[in-house]
Amino acid sequence: MADEVKKRVFSGVQPTGKVTLGNYLGAIRNWTPLQEQYDCLFCVVDLHSLTVAQVPAELRKNTLNLVALYIACGLDPDKSILFIQSHVHEHAELAWILDTVTYVGELNRMTQFKDKSRKHADNINMGLMNYPVLMASDILLYRTQYVPVGKDQVQHVELARDIAERFNSRYSDTFVVPECLLSRTGSSIKSLQEPTAKMSKSDPNDNAVISITDDADTVRRKLRRAVTDSDTDAHCVRRSEDKPGVSNLLNIYSLCADVSTDEAERLFEGKGYGYFKDAVADAVISVLQPIQDRQRILLEDKGYLETVLKRGAERASHIAQNTLAKVYRKVGLVPQIR
């Protein structure tokens, strides 16, 4: 009996800023087990990063760093397709076609467009508005069934679903309508300084964010400065709505130490905040150091990374070309004679 065809998963991260502990626990770490169950494509979405002005040399460096980080975190180029978005030109080409079935009102309503427009009021460009259409192209190009996302990205996947259904209705069945694959863990890692807000790699306060590349001393310093609460009892380590800072640190500890939050709470019962924060730091460092060591080795072997990216782009392009050819035919474009 033939093996059952695996369902397809697609996801990606922008090569901007420093990848945070939240990015790792909420996304990248959760991708590794998906490789065993699904046909996976993991992309460095460099085209998306251009919606905000970039320093070209830094963007190139960050892109390669992120590829190395993917592999260091456990993504296997023999099990998954790892590639850079701009190496597969069909992403941008399909995005143009999808623009023609996407309404301005839909894009105006996107929460991320509103947020980024406020943060970058001097650079509200069309790429910023069209970002969700390019994301839909990323997903639909590979006939993706599942997209692993955090809650903040659900709106984008819902738009991709709407676009796919609209195109299918207008031109006949073409795209798979994707579904969200919500992470059960790590999706709510908060800022160390504003624990009601998501930990974000674009946060201007460096003390609010733990980067995957932070050394042990830096991790410990940031966690010792992390906001807890104004409770006069400094031995009250517990989860509570009125203790978002402590709750966030308990969540980080439980994920890094691989224990339940209930167990973490019991471990620190009666302990002071200083002891608690040092234990959280120990757990985070034990997770990050092996990744950092592996990434450093990978970055020293540029030939290996180039081989991975060349093979990944070829494999991704093979799928993308077939999808785009089908789309071009459906909308009435004359095929190129080769």
* Residues forming the active site: 116, 198, 201
State the Cα–Cα distance between residues 142 and 122, nearest whole angstrom: 35
Which element (helix H / strand E) includes 179? strand 179-182
Strand-pairing partners, residue 9, are: 40, 146
State the Cα–Cα distance between residues 54 and 49, nearest whole angstrom: 8
Alpha helix ranges (H) inside the chain:
21-23, 29-31, 34-37, 46-49, 56-72, 90-99, 104-108, 111-119, 126-140, 154-171, 216-224, 244-257, 261-267, 273-299, 302-331
Residues 6+ apart with CB under 8 A from 263: 254
Backbone angles phi, psi at 18, to 5 degrees: -100, 135
Alpha carbon 72 to its chain centroid, in Å, reads 15
Question: Dihedral sign, CA of 243, 192, 252, 29?
Answer: positive
Tokens of 37: 């169950």
Q: Which is it for strands 80-84 and 39-44: parallel, antiparallel or unpaired?
A: parallel
